[in-house]
């Protein structure tokens, strides 16, 4: 009887050890899958990372006294493209402050300066409000002999302003905006 109980106990122990081993092997994979699918920015905006994109890095700094500006950079390796998701956190909005313009300026100015120093011309910025979305573009010159445009979509999410931004060749159709707009639908409430 003792031998049967001992055998039964060791059989159960082997099954439990196998389960524990499988759990230990699968845990890092499931954790990486969890973090590869969503990204928390500015402690308030959760962003669902689109399929095919991966997280690269984050930065945080203050935007001219308007509030903290958090940025996350994502990369699509199949299309060699990067997407910057910026969040301007506004805790106490002030009347008369154009947060949308401040965020667009903060996003585009560093790139425009780089292109200007390279001797490229930059062109007037185009802005278009479409419902709750502010779409913008600004041609800035050439990169690797291709005409380049800075493009983005800005939306208000709660008290925050969220900006989806990328650099793309001007030859690319406006479908890039549709891709960015799909990104805005991935925001969690």
| Burial of 68 from C-beta contacts in 10 A (0-12 / 13-18 / 19+) | middle
Q: What separation in angstroms does the CA of 124 have from each of 58, 139, 174?
A: 29, 8, 18
Is the pTM above the cut of 0.75?
no
Which residue in 41, 38, 152 sits closest to 89, CA to CA? 41
The C-alpha atoms of residue 114 and residue 86 are separated, in whole angstroms, by 20
The C-alpha atoms of residue 78 and residue 97 are separated, in whole angstroms, by 40
Which residue in 129, 132, 135 sits closest to 187, CA to CA? 132
Q: Which residues contact 157 (CB under 8 A, 6 or more apart)?
A: 45, 87, 187
Between 23 and 180, the more confident residue is 180
Tens digit of pLDDT for each residue in 109-160? 888 888 788 877 767 888 888 877 888 888 877 767 777 788 888 888 888 8
Tens digit of pLDDT for each residue in 1-54? 433 433 433 344 444 434 433 433 333 333 333 334 667 776 667 777 777 778
């Amino acid at each position: 009887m003792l031998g049967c109980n001992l055998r039964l106990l060791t059989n159960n122990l082997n099954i439990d050890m196998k389960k524990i081993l499988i759990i230990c092997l699968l845990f890092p994979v499931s954790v990486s899958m969890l973090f590869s699918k969503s990204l928390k920015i500015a402690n308030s905006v959760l962003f669902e990372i689109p399929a095919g994109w991966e997280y690269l890095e984050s930065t945080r700094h203050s935007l001219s006294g308007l509030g903290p500006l958090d940025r996350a950079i994502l990369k699509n390796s199949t299309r060699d493209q990067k997407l910057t998701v910026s969040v301007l956190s506004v805790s106490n909005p002030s009347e008369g402050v154009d947060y949308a313009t401040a965020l667009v300026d903060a996003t585009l100015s560093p790139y425009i300066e780089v292109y200007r120093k390279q001797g490229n011309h930059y062109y007037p910025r185009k802005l278009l409000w479409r419902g709750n979305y502010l779409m913008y573009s600004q041609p800035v010159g050439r990169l690797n002999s291709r005409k380049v445009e800075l493009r983005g979509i800005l939306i208000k999410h709660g008290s925050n302003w969220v900006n989806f931004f990328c650099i793309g060749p001007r030859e690319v159709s406006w479908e890039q905006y549709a891709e960015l707009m799909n990104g805005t639908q991935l925001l969690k409430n």
